[in-house]
Amino acid sequence: MPKNLIVITKLFPYNFTEAFLESETPFLQEKFKKIIFMPLLKGRIRPNFSSLTVDDSYNILYSKKTIMIIRILFSFDLYQSLFFHRKSLLKKNMFMACIKQQIHMQTIKCIIKNNPSNFTEDTIVYSYWFNAPVYAFLKLREKYRMKYRVVCRAHRWDVYDENGDMPYRKYCIEHVDKIFPISQDACDFLTKKYGYKEKYILSRLGVQKRNVTTKASAPFNFQVLTISQLIQRKRINLVFNALTVFALRNQDINIQWTHFGTGNMEKDLRMKVSSIDIPNMRTTFMGYVPNIEIIQFMEKSTVDVFMNLSTSEGVPVSIMEVQSYGIPVIATNVGGTGEIIDKDNGILLPSCPSLEDVVAALEKVYQSDFNRDIIKNHWNKLSNAQTNFRHFANLLSNTQ
């Protein structure tokens, strides 16, 4: 059984992205004697994680992109990559993706050469994302005939390749030891597109148990909650339009829409909201706040429905979070979302719903009386952090 784990992240344990790793890390610590975190970027260490072993060589070397670019210009690997992907270089972002991948190659080559004792047969390199570092570690393992193992998680953008910028994808899948997609949909997608079914092991993410059940509103009141970036993919404009229609058709209902999150659409959306005059609809933009404030909101406020109308998803943490409080959900059937929503805990819409689809779903939720204990039980079966991360740590430690 491997004793050492090297975890490749974007930022964790710095700043506040990759939040699932906060819950996952204690279970990894139970299974591995030594864990080194290697974040791509540097920031401020998170509270309660200052005791972790962090190797900043990745972010230090990666920040010296000018030096790395000079190196790759004299590297045969770059031109081999460009030739291999020649048919897709003009599509979307593939050209730059090939260059970035080679920058990671040069960076990780330096890391391995500087600390070869960290990369032995007792080591698993675990990338939190199925991205360029995975290829680099695999290629260098092959080149230097090393024996460390390489595994990764796979979420959304690193599964569905929406930007068309994943060089050497099939090579990675062929040579990686295991891939842990977070949804069955991701497993099925990768299997259908690339084969190698035996490589994929479903490993769901999860959120912590909450001892509070959020209450529903009093009659003739309807509290709607959304949590997301205000970007095109999240289709917040559709949320707004549907709520507007719902409010106009139900003028005896007081509707409160609360949104947490910011993005490049915020200014336009605020203008749209301020331009309407619907007495029974009120909108509050809370902006970007720490997750603890969203938790406090759900614990202290009434919430009748949570909405997520994204065009694509992995498995949304926001949906898992609200389900842990017993809140019903309206969401689009994209990615793994449909795996955690059924008739007992919400309404699953088509991947591209019409305005009337969304309005009808709001009508149905308002008229329904969802059992919030059943919603929490459903969350417990699929999205409990304690269960899911303990299972993942066991799988990871037994990777052969």
Burial 55-65 (b: 16+ CB within 10 A, else e): beebbebbeee
- Mean pLDDT over 348-367 rounds to 98
User: Percent of the chain scored above 90 by pLDDT?
Assistant: 87
Each residue's pLDDT tens digit, 255-306: 999 999 999 999 999 999 999 999 999 999 999 988 889 999 999 999 999 9
Q: Does any domain span residue 152?
A: yes
Note the pLDDT tens digit of each residue in 11-42. 999 988 898 999 999 999 999 999 999 999 99
Q: Which residues contact 170 (CB under 8 A, 6 or more apart)?
A: 194
CB–CB of 327/223 below 8 Å?
A: no
Q: What's residue 376's pLDDT?
A: 97
* 230 lies in some domain: yes
pLDDT cut 70: percent of the chain above it: 100
- For residue range 118-165, list pLDDT tens digits in order: 999 999 999 999 999 999 999 999 999 999 999 999 999 999 987 777
Are residues 184 and 58 part of one domain? yes
Residue range(s) defining the domain that contains residue 83? 4-206+385-397
Regarding whether 314 and 358 lie in a shared domain, the answer is yes
Whole-number pLDDT of residue 163: 73
Domain match, 85 and 230 both: no
In angstroms, how far is CA 275 from the centroid of its own chain? 34
Q: What is the pLDDT of residue 135?
A: 97
pLDDT of residue 1: 67
110 located within any domain: yes
Regarding whether 228 and 188 lie in a shared domain, the answer is no
pLDDT, one tens digit per residue, over 50-59 is: 999 999 999 9
In the prediction, which pLDDT does 171 show? 96
Is residue 160 a part of any domain in this protein? yes
| Mean pLDDT within 319-328 | 97
On whether both 91 and 187 belong to a single domain, the answer is yes
Burial class (CB in 10 A: 0-12, 13-18, 19+), 364: middle
Q: Are 9 and 39 in contact (CB under 8 A)?
A: yes
In this structure, what DSSP letter does residue 129 have? S
- Residue 368 vs residues 225, 252, 365: alpha-carbon distances, Å: 17, 17, 5
Does one domain contain both 263 and 352? yes
212 in a structural domain: no
Q: In this structure, are 22 and 138 located in the same domain?
A: yes
> Within this chain, do residues 34 and 140 fall inside the same structural domain, yes or no?
yes
The verdict on 262 and 361 lying in the same domain is yes
State whether 191 and 290 are in the same domain: no
Residue 211 within any structural domain of the chain: no
Instruction: Note whether 298 and 179 are same-domain residues.
Output: no
CB 329 within 8 A of CB 362: no
Whether residue 215 is contained in a domain is answered as: no
* 214 within domain boundaries: no
- CA distances for 172 relative to 37, 130, 143, 166, angstroms: 22, 9, 14, 10
Q: How many domains are there within the chain?
A: 2
Q: Which two tokens stand for residue 362?
A: 């709001």
* pLDDT value at 91 more than 80: no
- Average pLDDT of the chain is 94
Inter-residue contact 33 to 4 (CB < 8 Å): yes
Can you give the CATH number for the domain in which 22 is found? 3.40.50.2000
- Is the Cα torsion angle 45, 47, 50, 54 positive or negative in sign? negative
Q: Are residues 100 and 197 in the same domain?
A: yes
Whether the Cβ atoms of residue 35 and residue 29 lie closer than 8 Å to each other: yes
Q: Is the pTM of this model over 0.85?
A: yes
- Can you give the C-alpha Rg of the chain in angstroms? 23
Distance, CA of 49 to CA of 13 (rounded, Å): 7
